[in-house]
Structures are given as structure tokens and as C-alpha cells.
Structure 1
């Protein structure tokens, strides 16, 4: 009779390290979809998100042999690229597209409210609640201090509460 191991508690997966990922193709297969979603949530534009992720994978590929933590480097490239792209296209593009028709009114309102946040605040909110990163991880990813992350998150949530209040 086989014994089953007890179920492992659900935790946020860490970005793959060099020892976890055997090849660049493995990293691409595992991370393309999550990184595209992350970039979309920061930029609000699917085409821009796809371009950002493509550029990020190109950067990882160029540095592959020198990277100890390719997954973490990829995430930083995606977040930073998405922030730059969002700022660059702010006047030209709507930052948030409407969610699919099947999404409820509340989801649309939330996406619209996220789109009205400052790009830096939006990045912090997305990394905290979508990517489930800690304040220290967000600070490292964005290249800012943890205190900046904390205050940005506080201000962003206050603005969202105010805009979404009944």
C-alpha cells in the first residue's frame, strides 16, 4: 500500500534559480505566461506587455552564462521594462484595457482605478497583490528603498479605497 506525503502548504513560488532551470528554453516555457500577465497588469496594454516580455527574455538570453538567478533577473527586467514602457506611452495609449466581458462590473471598476494610479504606485500594488511579493522583494525588484514601497503602497491603497467607495 502506497503512502502519500502530506499536502504541502501553498506558498508563492520563488523565481527559478540557475540550478532550477536547466536551459533558457525551460525558463521561457515556465515564465512566459506569468511574466506577460505581470507586464500587462503594470502597463494595462497587451501588445506593450508582450513586447516588454520579449525584450526581457532577450536580455536574459544575452547574459545567461553570467546569471545566478535568471528568474529573478527576468522579473526585474519585466517590471522595469513595463514601468518604462508605461511612462513612454502614457499619453498615446490607454493604460488599462477593459477586462473581458465575462468579468463583473467590480473588476472593471478596479482595473479602471488601477489605471488611474501613478505608474510607480500601480507597479507596487501589482507586485504586492498579484505577484505576492514582500515589501523587501518589491524594493529589490524596483531598485528603491523598502520605505518607499511602504509609503507608495499606503498612498495607492488610500486612492483606490477613495475611488472605489460606494
Structure 2
């Protein structure tokens, strides 16, 4: 417990080299490194997603998708091209903007098409493809979690609670909280990689 608090304290103002080490450990399949990266950066990612989306549910899904992508693509991270926090924020921002565009597309006036609306706003093909997605992969993945795991993910991502704080709030043992969160993230990653 003391080691976790110490690690979290060090990573809060985490030097780039320490975050890079966590990404490298994630690339080797170290789930603990993902937990530490999450603890060190989730507040900033959630703040960004919330500022863009102004929706708790959407921000939670975007942050979750960001970490799932970072886990699945940790080996692709190149610290020469930028720092870890910048990479995570860029991933989060991109997903938040995609979600915002999807919401706008869902509110189109009758008779207009998504393609017409997108073409009028933005000529970038990547944005066009993102907006044409009909379903949220993250929403589907989160819906497949058990209610307990969904609640724990929400407490961790939305309320930025530590594992210990979640254990205290829910009455679950600390090890149980960590286990559920680790399994939930693994399940989300598997679902997102499969789709």
C-alpha cells in the first residue's frame, strides 16, 4: 500500500522518462504499469474529455477507450515523436471530438444526410469516416461488463478515486477492487481489439 502511494506521488508530477518506462512495461504486458499510468494521468484525461463533451457518460467512455487503445498499442509509442502525456491527451481529444461529431450527426434535421452535413463542415476524410460510425464500440464494450465492474470503472474514471477510496466507498476488499478493475480493463481491451 505504501509503495502504491509512493508511486502515485512520484508519478503525479511524472517526469517523461518514468511515463515512458510505464509504456514500455505495458508493451511487455505488465498490467501494473497500466494501473500506474492510469493513476498518474486519469485526472487530466477525464478533465479534457469532460470539457469537450460536457457529458459524464460520454467522457467516461472516451477515457476508457483511450486507455484501452494505449494498452493495445503501447509498443507503437515512440517517445521521439512526443511525450506520453501528450500522446494520451491527443488520443483522448481525438476520441472526444469523434464522439461530439457523432452526437451532432445524430441530431441532423430530417431529410439531410450525414455525408452532406459532414462535407459542409469539414473536408477531412478521417473525420468523415469517424462520423459515419453508427455505434459506439466503447458503449457496447462497457455494457458487457457486470454491474459491479461498470460501477468500479465509473468510480475510478468519473470520480478519479484511488483503489483504496473505491474499496472504502463500496465496502469491497482492496484486492477485490483491484482484481475487478484489472479484469474489466482486460475485458474492454479484448472487446475493442476484436471489433
Bucket of the pairwise TM-score, normalised by the shorter protein: 0.3 to 0.5
Question: What is the TM-score when the length of structure 2 is the normalising length?
Answer: 0.37
Question: What is the TM-score when the length of structure 1 is the normalising length?
Answer: 0.42
Say which structure is richer in helix.
2
